Amino acid sequence: MAEAMGFFTDTTVCIGCKACEVACKNWNQLPAREGGQPEMSGQSYDNTLRLSGSTWRHVKFVEQFDAPYEGRWLMLSDVCKHCVQAGCIEVCPTGAIIRTEFDTVVIQSDVCNGCRTCIAACPFGVIDINEVSGTAQKCTLCYDRMSVGLEPACSKACPTDSIQFGPIEELRKRAGARVEQLKAAGETRARLYGADPEGPVGGLNAFFLLVDEPEVYGLPPEPTLPSRNLATSAALSVAGAAVVGAVGLVTLRHRRMQDVAEKETTSEEQAH
């Protein structure tokens, strides 16, 4: 396997220009929404609002304006996290979702049949159906570009280097140094999300530097694998089946006893 590659997204230098969103759409030839008609969210300066089957990069705007002149505007360029232990791969019934030689997670669009179980399994709400192909789609970490030694379109287009691409080990070191730098500068809330290989889902190959709790950015604090429920849920169902079977047998036995009792009464009556 080639070296594990990924993204380090430093949210503190994101300016919300959405060049990554555009570059991603452009390179991957993703369709526009509503046939390209302007669509305003009406609730945010961000009009994309979410990742989808046709939006594989999305700059989240965290707009915290409780009072005039008092507020904070956080930005995070969201993307598939390319989990080291991927819930989507676990549940995919067609084998469409694979791990590549770069340790990234890719959905093969010609294999996927659009059952959508991966959408429910993703702990980050990344995957969705692409309305044009009818299949589940998400960021491929520009597998086609990486295969020929190019960097992904989004990080290439990012004007502030908020999105950095490279070998995971190198990115982790760079991210650690950046956290120390921010802390030294007084931003004590600086932290990494998903950089720890010992952490949830074995770490994320697309990890983030945040300056607040993950949920502020719409990220789950403790992402988990869907398979955590498999053994208990299956065992309880088997137990349920055994109990229903037993209830059925008891009911039939009860009926048989009644039949015998009725027969005895009838024969006694006949004897009299």
Contacts (CB under 8 A) with another protein, residues 213-252: 215-224, 226-227, 229-230, 232-234, 236-237, 239-241, 243-245, 247-252
Q: Smaller CB distance to another protein: residue 87 or 194?
A: 87
| Contact call for residue 266 and another protein (CB under 8 A) | no
Q: Looking up tokens 């390179």, which residue turns up?
A: 27
The one segment of 9-17, 175-183, 211-219, 262-270 that binds another protein by CB under 8 A:
211-219
Give Cβ neighbours of residue 78 (< 8 Å, ≥ 6 apart): 51, 57, 58, 59, 60, 126, 218
Count of H-run helices and E-run strands, the chain: 7, 10
Q: Smaller CB distance to another protein: residue 64 or 181?
A: 64
Q: Looking up tokens 């990554």, which residue turns up?
A: 20
Give Cβ neighbours of residue 145 (< 8 Å, ≥ 6 apart): 27, 151, 152, 153
In the complex, the smallest distance separating the C-beta of residue 77 from another protein, rounded to whole angstroms, is 12
- The residue among 7, 48, 74, 15 whose CA lies nearest residue 219 is 74
- Residue 253 corresponds to which tokens in the numbers above? 């036995």
DSSP H helices, 149-229, are 153-157, 168-184
| Contact call for residue 101 and another protein (CB under 8 A) | no
| Contact call for residue 20 and another protein (CB under 8 A) | no
Q: Smaller CB distance to another protein: residue 177 or 252?
A: 252
* Residue 250 host element (H or E): helix 230-271
| Contact call for residue 261 and another protein (CB under 8 A) | no
Evaluate whether 116 touches 41 at the Cβ level (below 8 Å): no
* Per rule CB under 8 A, count of chain residues that contact another protein: 76
DSSP reduced 3-state for 145: helix
Q: Smaller CB distance to another protein: residue 215 or 269?
A: 215
Which residue from 26, 113, 265, 266 is in contact with another protein, where contact means CB under 8 A?
Answer: 113
In the complex, the smallest distance separating the C-beta of residue 108 from another protein, rounded to whole angstroms, is 8
Positions 169 through 208 that interact with another protein (CB under 8 A): none
- Residue 107 corresponds to which tokens in the numbers above? 């959905």
The one segment of 31-39, 86-94, 165-173, 184-192 that binds another protein by CB under 8 A:
86-94
Positions 47 through 76 that interact with another protein (CB under 8 A): 49-50, 60-62, 74, 76
The one segment of 8-16, 84-92, 141-149, 172-180 that binds another protein by CB under 8 A:
84-92
Give Cβ neighbours of residue 258 (< 8 Å, ≥ 6 apart): none
- Residue 25 corresponds to which tokens in the numbers above? 């759409």
> Cα separation of 230 and 254, whole Å?
36
Q: Smaller CB distance to another protein: residue 4 or 121?
A: 121
Q: Smaller CB distance to another protein: residue 117 or 174?
A: 117
| Contact call for residue 114 and another protein (CB under 8 A) | yes
Q: Smaller CB distance to another protein: residue 26 or 237?
A: 237
Give Cβ neighbours of residue 4 (< 8 Å, ≥ 6 apart): 102, 103, 167, 168, 169, 205
